[in-house]
Chain A
Amino acid sequence: MTGAFELSMIPAVLPEIMLILLAVLVLVLDLVYRDRENSALGWITAIGLLVAAGLGVAFSRPASEPVLLFGGMLRQDWLTFTFRLIFMVGAALTALVGTEKSGKHLGEYYLLLIISTLGMSLMASSANLIMLYLAIETTSIPLYILAGFKVTDQKSVEAGIKYLLFGAMTSAVMLYGFSLLWGFSGTTSLYELADALKAGSAPPVLMGGLALLVLVGFGFKVSAAPLHFWAPDVYEGAPTPVAGFLSTASKAAGFAVLARVLLAVFPDSLPFWTVVIAVLATVSMILGNVLALVQRNIKRLLAYSSIAQAGYILVGVAAGNELGVTGVVYYLASYLVTNLAAFGIVWLVGRQVGSDDLDAYAGLGKRNPAVALAMLLALLSLGGVPPLSGFFGKLLVFGAAVQAGQFWLAFVGVITSVIGLYYYLTVMKIMYRPGTDEQPLPMTPAWRTALLACVAGMIFLGVAFAPWYGWATAAAGSLF
């Protein structure tokens, strides 16, 4: 077996080790300073996550050739590297957004966030079915709790339970798929499965069926239609920063494994699954955008929009080429900063006004012009308008579709993004209409920092393409 444990493998998982230490630290601090106001915890979590991300950049850079570690459990490659950055930055921003001065169980909140991030990081690097499943569950279980974190709020509890039930269900189907994969091939290693299946001359129909079973689990994670039903209810009920985290980092984790598993395990049935993914993408884009049109609650609107965005990103997967995966990685980074900014603002408004109704946004342009401007930028980025990052992400995935000759998919994509623009513009318009209350909303320093970082990210990714594009290409290259 390749790469049994050696001490030299430690740097490769340094960020993960850092996360575990951070989790312990947060837990201890919370126990020791239980009675004090502990707004510092959010900062500590965020800084710790960024340190972990920094360690990843400094010490866990993959070699030119991908390496299998720990008995083939993990794979150190550029996909791991880029996605780890996405998750950790996303978690850090989420930690900053939701920083309250005081509150119950804050320590647990951050602990769960960190553990879930750890799971995502392992998801992106898993090269083995068992490891993959464990990583997915490590990610999901804390998220179930986080979604239902406001135990006194019925909606939040409902969100948590709904998420749990959907998650458990799809996870079971996926696990069944995994077990069949193992049964037909006798191996659990992602990178040996393809050959083993071929050697076992598994019939194409079976391969297609297996791909479908596995896709159920991943489709749930990325909230692609028709596995999207949980998203609006969960986003609406869950604490807003958690909803933001679910829609960005958790979705990104889903895409990481989706791309890796499809390309590594099912390279031979590529013509089949590209069609399946293309169909999922089409349905997601149409359904998400059309249903978002009628929403009056901003969190539900963003939930349907996130389904639509999953559709756009799937276009990149469906292309099945390197540009497509590059586009996926670029899009996800862009979507991370964009949607976290949007959810951050929703959190601010919701906390102050006590409502997530669209009408609560009337007058925001007068109340906090800077916040309104940030929301404007986030919505434009979601709509795919330059000079914001969403534009370039869309360009890449649609470009990949065109390169793969899937013109119809590109056309569906661009036409539905016009529908998307409609409701984004509607929100924009409401913000600049006179509202009942003109008191500025108070912001915490942590929140300000997070929002500023998001806006800077949106503009940076939307204007200076080269740095992240370079890493995204490398990530794509490690799958082909």
Chain B
Amino acid sequence: MGFPILSLIIFLPLAAGLIILALPADRKLAIKGIALGAGVLSLVLAVIVYAGYDLAQGGYQFVERMPWLPALGISYYVGVNGMSVPLVLLGALVITAGVMISWRVEDRPREFFSFMMFLGASVQGVFCSLDLFMLFFFYELAVFPKYLMIAIWGSPKTRDYGSMKLTLYLFIGSVISLVGVLAMYFAAGQKTFDMLVLENAGFSMAFQQTWFLVVFGGFAVLGGIFPFHSWAPDGHVAAPTAISMLLAGVEMKVGAFAALRVAIMLLPEGARYWSLLILILGTINVVYGAFIALIQTDFKYVIGFSSVSHMGLVLIGFATLSREGLLGAGMQMFSHGIMTALFFAVVGMVYDRTHTRNIGELGGLFQKMPIAAIGFIVAGLVSMGMPGFSGFVAEFPIFMGAWRVLPLVAIIAILGVIITAGYILLVMRRVFFGKLPEAFEKSVTDITVMDKIVVGVLVLLMVVIGVFPSLMTTMIESGVNQILALVGGA
């Protein structure tokens, strides 16, 4: 066991959160400084993990293990593979971006940044877990920061409703999977929560078919699966900007990742049995989400529903259980993560300056905040799956995978992408081009330097991955190989 880099990635935000909480409330700069420091440092560590992951060797690396409760076979057991490394990077990236975007938060910054750090620790803990109990522990750790951050700092009109809806939906999902997890634990009869052991537990066919739906369904609620997706737009819209970024950008991936890691990888026969259902639900996500996004008049709701639509592609990718599909799903998780974070960041920037999210009242903002507009446009292009951007690298393999399983799904899903292009271009034109309303002539200022850095870095990443996809595809492929070894197939 070498340097405990994954533990640092998990516990650095946690420690930062605790330190911040212990500071006096008026030390605002120190609070923000610590949060930013923890974010940047964990980003650096995540990059080191990304660069240091040995592709030739594959499998789980940077493994650390410590007994936690040996009597029940619970251990603190972390390690990453090709599938989770990009997600760890995504988590660190979005947390840091979130801190920077929230630089101007003035309402109780101590609690705000501290809770945000806890949320960060929670997601990293899930991505790194190799122990089922630990995964669940960190998964649930996110409950209270999510709720409180929306309920306290959210937009006053909908925060009560949005925060409660989101929290209860997600809690219901997670506790239902908890029962499934317990059932797996006892059915395996090995007295361990070690997922690498459970992978080979040899669950019976009937068991897998019954419990897959419970486990997958529970986790997929957080992934935004239809018909349990409605928390997502309401919650995202009610949340403050940084939390929308984290929720849509990272938390939804946590759900998808857990569904993949626990349900699909540990109950592969169940996955095969139910794959058609997931495929259909995912397709509904894509098309339905896109259609609803098309008719929204609220800027933020458009993005909220676009997340539902894009997460559908991830689900389709999973459901194909094929090399292309899973590769695309992995890419899409990362690509959509940074894309939607950027979307929400820009929405936040626009709202902070115009105090409206009504698309009809906005216009011509390109003149006032060009960088933000460019960020939105690039994110839009990514979301349409334009070649040369990360979205294409993600979506294309998913369609290939879907085509091999069921061509009709691929066709319908591609239709969804066309609708996506429709609403993105529509919003882009109405908000950033056209005539600038007079009221905004004076009141609207350009975005801050912090904001520009965030936009710049995220845009750069989307382009770099689009142009040099192998930077990430090789990584994810090694993770896909591991999944395929479990579920079978090419």
A-side residues, CB < 8 A to B, are 365, 369, 373, 376, 380, 383, 385-387, 391, 395, 398-399, 402-403, 407, 410-411, 414-415, 417-418, 421-422, 425, 428-429, 432, 465-466, 469-470, 473
Contacts and interface: CB of A to CB of B under 8 A. Distances in A.
A422 B164 contact: yes
B175 A417 contact: yes
Given A407-B179, A421-B167, A421-B171, A376 B141 contact: no
Contacts of A410: 179, 182
Contacts of B152: 429, 432
B144 interface: yes
Question: Nearest 8 pairs between A and B by C-beta?
Answer: A414-B175, A402-B182, A465-B69, A386-B137, A385-B143, A429-B151, A418-B172, A399-B182
Given A422-B168, A428-B148, A429-B151, A398 B71 contact: no
B54 interface: no
B7 to A, nearest CB: 15
Contacts of B143: 380, 383, 385, 421
Contacts of B226: none
Nearest to A419: B168
B167 A425 contact: yes
B178 A414 contact: yes
A338 B25 CA distance: 26
A421 B168 CA distance: 8
Given A373-B21, A428-B148, A432-B152, A403 B186 contact: yes
B74 interface: yes
Given A432-B152, A469-B69, 9 more contacts: A376-B144, A391-B137, A402-B183, A417-B175, A418-B171, A418-B175, A421-B171, A428-B151, A466-B69
Nearest to A425: B147
B206 to A, nearest CB: 14
B140 interface: yes
Given A387-B137, A418-B172, A418-B175, A402 B186 contact: yes
B182 A380 contact: no
Interface residues of B, number: 35
Contacts of A399: 182, 185-186
B176 interface: yes
10 contacts: A385-B140, A385-B143, A391-B137, A403-B182, A418-B172, A421-B167, A425-B151, A425-B164, A429-B163, A432-B148
B392 to A, nearest CB: 39
Interface string B326-370: 000000000000000000000000000000000000000000000
A385 B152 CA distance: 19
Given A465-B69, A466-B69, A398 B178 contact: yes
B298 interface: no
A328 B70 CA distance: 19
A391 B143 CA distance: 12
The majority secondary structure among interface residues of chain B is helix
Contacts of B108: 365
A415 B175 CA distance: 7
Contacts of B151: 425, 428-429, 432
A144 B201 CA distance: 54
B144 A398 contact: no
B215 to A, nearest CB: 13
Contact of B179 (A376, A411, A425): A411
Given A425-B164, A425-B167, A385 B68 contact: no
Contacts of B72: 469
B168 A418 contact: yes
B446 interface: no
Nearest to A410: B179
A349 to B, nearest CB: 19
A315 B70 CA distance: 24
A398 B179 contact: yes
B71 A470 contact: yes
B160 interface: yes
Interface string B66-99: 0011111010000000000000000000000000
A432 B145 CA distance: 13
B183 A414 contact: no
A414 B176 contact: yes
B182 A398 contact: yes
A295 B148 CA distance: 21
Contacts of B167: 421, 425
Contact of B71 (A380, A407, A429, A473): A473
A425 to B, nearest CB: 6
Interface string B23-53: 0010000000000000000000000000000
A436 B137 CA distance: 38
Contacts of A428: 144, 147-148, 151
Contacts of A383: 143
Contacts of B186: 399, 402-403
Interface string B161-198: 00110011001100110110011011000000000000
B179 A465 contact: no
A460 to B, nearest CB: 13
B74 A465 contact: yes
A476 B140 CA distance: 28
A376 B143 CA distance: 12
Given A387-B141, A402-B186, A465-B68, A414 B168 contact: no
Contacts of A429: 148, 151-152, 160, 163
Nearest to B175: A414
B437 to A, nearest CB: 33
A470 B70 CA distance: 10
Scoring A410, A421, A470 by chain B CB atoms within 10 A of each residue's CB, the highest score goes to A421
A158 to B, nearest CB: 35
Nearest to B140: A386
A414 B179 CA distance: 8
Contacts of B163: 429
A402 B72 CA distance: 15
A459 to B, nearest CB: 11
A18 to B, nearest CB: 32
A325 to B, nearest CB: 14
A413 to B, nearest CB: 8
B143 to A, nearest CB: 5
Nearest to B184: A402
The CB with the most chain B CB atoms within 10 A, among A380, A386, A469, A473, is that of: A386
A417 B168 CA distance: 10
A253 B148 CA distance: 36
Contacts of A432: 148, 151-152
B149 to A, nearest CB: 11
Contacts of B183: 402, 407
Contacts of A425: 147, 151, 164, 167
A415 B176 CA distance: 8
B144 A380 contact: yes
Nearest to A373: B21
B144 A395 contact: no
B156 to A, nearest CB: 11
A429 B159 CA distance: 11
Interface string B392-432: 00000000000000000000000000000000000000000
B191 to A, nearest CB: 11
Interface string B127-156: 000000000011011011001100110000
Contacts of A373: 21
A141 to B, nearest CB: 40
A45 B267 CA distance: 56
B141 A386 contact: yes
